[in-house]
Amino acid sequence: MRTFIRSKYLFLAALLCAACGPAAALDIRRADVKEFIAHMSSTTPFTKHQLRKLLKAAQSQPTIIDAMDRPAEKAKPWFEYRPIFITERRIREGVEFWIAHRQALDQASIRSGVAPEYLAAILGVETYYGRLTGSYRVLDALATLAFDYPARAKFFRDELEQYLLLTRDLGVDPLSLKGSYAGAMGAPQFMPSNYRRYAVDADADGHINLWNNWQDVCASVGNYLKEHGWNAGEPVLSDASVEEGKSAELDGRKLALSETVASLHTKGVNFDSSLPTEAPALLIAADEADGVHWRVGYNNFYVITRYNHSALYAMAVYELAAAVKQQVLLSDAAHMPLPTPPLPSSTLPLPPPPAAQQ
């Protein structure tokens, strides 16, 4: 979940392919691969033979490792990151997506308490509303990172195990599914463990399809945010300013709800909030071309960063949600039927005749 596919980075990966070296079949004789096979065969229904056959078919992809080392959330300041996602096209397609899938969004919102604009915006940031769900075989991505990316090998070995169990749950060929360079899948880019834990069969058809069943997709995104602590109806973010001379004492780079509305006010941060003074908050330093701009995030902002651990990501979701909602409201207003005008006076019914005098 923490990483997601974008066409820009797919293109970059293609350009870097030659420099990174060719893909190579995973060597199942390696000690770490044999250890994984032994562990999984002893704790899951998979046999050693099945696991050897599957992992032997996996391709280690050097471009995946390069992409992992170049995430936009770490490489770009806010003023360069924002234009990737807050574009006229992404807003327009967000409006089109909302109108086309209004029922699924509304039902998911009622079920989870998450406003529909945030469900739509996460899908817009992650996969352009399901249009770009990734071109790497999930098995290749997870095997590459599980065995050839030491920095996070344990995490991805766990995800590889969860992926193989997931394909068994879904009844699909592990070699058939495609996703991001980190193994995230479907329109919401769920990692395998999140797919198994948070995905919802919203239409009760016995299958959870996160690629093109929009009831399942929207409900699953809502459920993920709800399970991570979303508070229905609460704000996400406020613009802020800092009193002169106080900015040097402030840390706007820490992604933790370590402040409150009151504590930030005490430290010289000025912002308007409908939340009580004891509500948890965090200070955000957004790097603009003309310097730092300050913002205050609340619980729901922090919950969005559980989807992707980046304040830049959460700010992009927030701004895209606001822009799409504004345009949907304008579209709805433009298509509202006009009220029926009052009848002209000449067509009004005549009053009853006065009562006869006795």
pTM for the predicted model, two decimal places: 0.87
282 phi, psi to nearest 5 deg: -140, 145
Annotation says 243 is catalytic: no
Q: Which residues of the chain have pLDDT under 70?
A: 1-21, 72-74, 338, 340-358
Q: How many CA atoms lie within 13 A of 279 on its CB side?
A: 21
CB-facing half-sphere around the CA of 14: CA atoms within 13 A:
8
Beta strands in 107-167 (DSSP E): 136-137
Torsion of Cα atoms, 87 then 91 then 93 then 97, to 10°: 150
CA atoms within 13 A on the CB side of 247: 13
What are the backbone dihedrals phi and psi of residue 287, each rounded to the nearest 5 degrees, phi first? Answer: -80, 110
Catalytic residue among 93, 96, 117, 126: 126
C-beta separation of 117 from 105 below 8 A: no
237 within 8 A of 322, measured Cβ to Cβ:
no
Domains of the chain: 1-70+134-191 (1.10.8.350), 73-130+212-333 (1.10.530.10)
Element (H, E) at 282: strand 280-288
pLDDT of 342 reads 67
* 274-289 pLDDT, tens digit each: 999 999 999 999 999 9
Please report, for residues 12, 355, the alpha-carbon distance to residue 358 in angstroms, rounded to integers and kept in the order given.
98, 9
The phi, psi pair for 34, rounded to 5°, reads -65, -40
